[in-house]
Amino acid sequence: MKGLKRRIISYMIVLGVALIVTSLGYQWGMATYEDRPRSFLDSLQFTVEMFTTTGFGGDSPWESPQMHTFIIVTDLLGMALLVGALPVVATPLLQSMLSSSAPEKADEGLTDHVVICSDTTRSEVLIDELDSRGIPYVIVESDRDRADELYKTNDHVIKADPASTDGLEAAKVASARAVVADVSDQVDASIVLTAKEVSPDVSVISVVEDPDNARYHEIAGADHVLSPRSLIGRSLSKKVTSAMRTEIDESVAIGDELRLAEISIRHGSALAGTTLAESNIREESGVTVIGVWVDGRFNPAPGPKTRLPPGTVLLASGRTDQLEQLVEMTQSTIRGFKSENVVIVGYGQVGRSVRDELDKTTITYTLVDKADTEGINVVGDATEPEILTEAGIEDADTVVLALPDDNTTEFATLMIRDLAPDTEIIARVNQQENVSKTYRAGADYVLSLTSVTGRMIASQIFENRDLLSLEQQVKVIRERAPQLVGQSLAEANVRDRTGCIVIGLESGSTVITDIGPQTTFEPEDELIIVGTDDGIRAFEQAFC
Q: Give the pLDDT of residue 315.
A: 86
Q: Which residue has the higher pLDDT, 450 or 5?
A: 450
Band (pLDDT 50/70/90 cuts) for residue 3 is: low
The answer to whether 396 and 343 have CB atoms below 8 angstroms apart is yes
Q: Give the pLDDT of residue 337.
A: 45
Report the mean per-residue pLDDT for the chain. 83
pLDDT in tens, 492-510: 888 888 888 888 888 777 7
pTM: 0.66
Q: Give the pLDDT of residue 339.
A: 46
Q: Rounded to an integer, what distance in angstroms lies between the CA atom of residue 207 and that of residue 205? A: 7
Mean pLDDT, range 346-373, rounded to an integer: 89
Nearest to 236 by CA among 399, 368, 375, 378: 399
Q: Give the pLDDT of residue 92.
A: 59
pLDDT at 93 > cutoff 80: no
pLDDT at 338 > cutoff 80: no
The answer to whether 173 and 194 have CB atoms below 8 angstroms apart is no
Mean pLDDT, range 180-205, rounded to an integer: 93
pLDDT in tens, 97-115: 545 678 888 888 889 999 9
pLDDT at 247 > cutoff 60: no
What is the distance of C-alpha 538 from the center of its chain? 11
Q: Give the pLDDT of residue 379.
A: 93
**Helices 2-32 and 91-98: angle between axes, nearest 10 degrees:** 150
Query: Where is mean pLDDT largest: 256-265, 272-281, 410-419, 477-486?
Result: 410-419
The answer to whether 515 and 505 have CB atoms below 8 angstroms apart is yes
pLDDT at 237 > cutoff 50: yes
Q: How far is CA 346 from CA 117, 360, 369, 422, in A?
A: 28, 19, 5, 21
pLDDT at 41 > cutoff 70: yes
Q: Rounded to an integer, what distance in angstroms lies between the CA atom of residue 264 and that of residue 398? A: 12
Mean pLDDT, range 221-230, rounded to an integer: 90
Band (pLDDT 50/70/90 cuts) for residue 413 is: very high
Band (pLDDT 50/70/90 cuts) for residue 246 is: very low
The residues, ordered by sequence, that sit 6+ positions from 513 with a Cβ below 8 Å of its Cβ are 254, 255, 258, 317, 503, 504
What is the full DSSP assignment across 420-462? Answer: -TTSEEEEEES-GGGHHHHHHHT-SEEEEHHHHHHHHHHHHH-
Query: Where is mean pLDDT largest: 155-164, 293-302, 444-453, 477-486?
Result: 155-164
